[in-house]
């Protein structure tokens, strides 16, 4: 049987992976690598599938090998360049978990992945209102006050 058919059957049998760990930084729950492995490895073995997760060329590689046909499917992530051994160990574990979840299309909800992809709405700055001149009071021109003039006198000759 082809590896892709076996993987499709496997995915149906796995269902959702139970969250068993809490991220203290983000205060969220997730399925750690051990919970994922406990959920998938016995089912993989029953289908003649072998899970390997070697490190090679600065990458974490998750490989599923079909022991009957020799077919192989792989998911890889390049490791960050970190010098601190504890941090690189954490990155390896994190990448093993993500490559395996990705390769099998597992339905484990990933709260920190959701937060990472969440784009916070931008605060809307109040825009200044455009200047609209107020209607000015009507300009009236008062005629200069003049003294009444006397009618000119006409003399007849």
**Count of C-beta atoms within a 10 Å radius of residue 6:** 19
Q: What is the pLDDT of residues 80-123, one digit of tens each?
A: 999 999 999 999 999 999 999 999 998 755 444 555 555 556 66
Closest CA to 61 of 71, 49, 50, 75: 75
**This prediction's pTM:** 0.64
- Distance separating alpha carbons of residues 49 and 10, to the nearest angstrom: 10
Q: What is the pLDDT of residues 31-80, one digit of tens each?
A: 889 989 999 999 999 999 999 999 999 999 999 999 999 999 999 999 99
- Distance separating alpha carbons of residues 43 and 100, to the nearest angstrom: 14
Specify the residue for token string 């300009």.
139
- Distance separating alpha carbons of residues 105 and 99, to the nearest angstrom: 10
- Distance separating alpha carbons of residues 152 and 157, to the nearest angstrom: 16
Q: What is the pLDDT of residues 127-156, one digit of tens each?
A: 677 766 666 566 566 565 666 666 656 555
Max distance between CA atoms of the chain, in angstroms, equals 145
**Count of C-beta atoms within a 10 Å radius of residue 79:** 16
Q: Where are the domains of the chain?
A: 3-113
Structure tokens at 130: 């455009």
Using DSSP, state whether 104 is helix, strand or coil. Answer: helix
Chain CA centroid to CA 5, Å: 31
Residue 58 neighbours by CB under 8 Å, 6+ apart:
78, 79, 81
Q: What is the pLDDT of residue 9?
A: 94
């Amino acid at each position: 049987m082809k590896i892709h058919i076996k993987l499709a059957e496997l995915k149906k049998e796995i269902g959702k992976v139970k969250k068993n760990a809490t991220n203290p930084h983000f205060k969220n729950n997730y399925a750690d690598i051990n919970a994922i492995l406990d959920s998938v490895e016995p089912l993989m073995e029953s289908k003649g599938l072998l899970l390997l997760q070697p490190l090679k060329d600065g990458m974490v590689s998750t490989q599923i090998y079909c022991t009957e046909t020799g077919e192989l499917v792989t998911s890889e992530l390049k490791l960050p360049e970190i010098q601190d051994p504890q941090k690189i160990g954490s990155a390896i574990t994190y990448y093993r978990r993500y490559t395996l979840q990705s390769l099998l299309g597992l339905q484990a909800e990933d709260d920190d992945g959701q937060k990472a992809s969440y784009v916070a709405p931008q605060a809307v700055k109040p825009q200044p209102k455009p200047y609209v001149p107020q209607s000015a009071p009507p300009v009236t021109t008062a005629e200069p006050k003049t003294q009444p003039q006397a009618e000119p006198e006409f003399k007849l000759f």
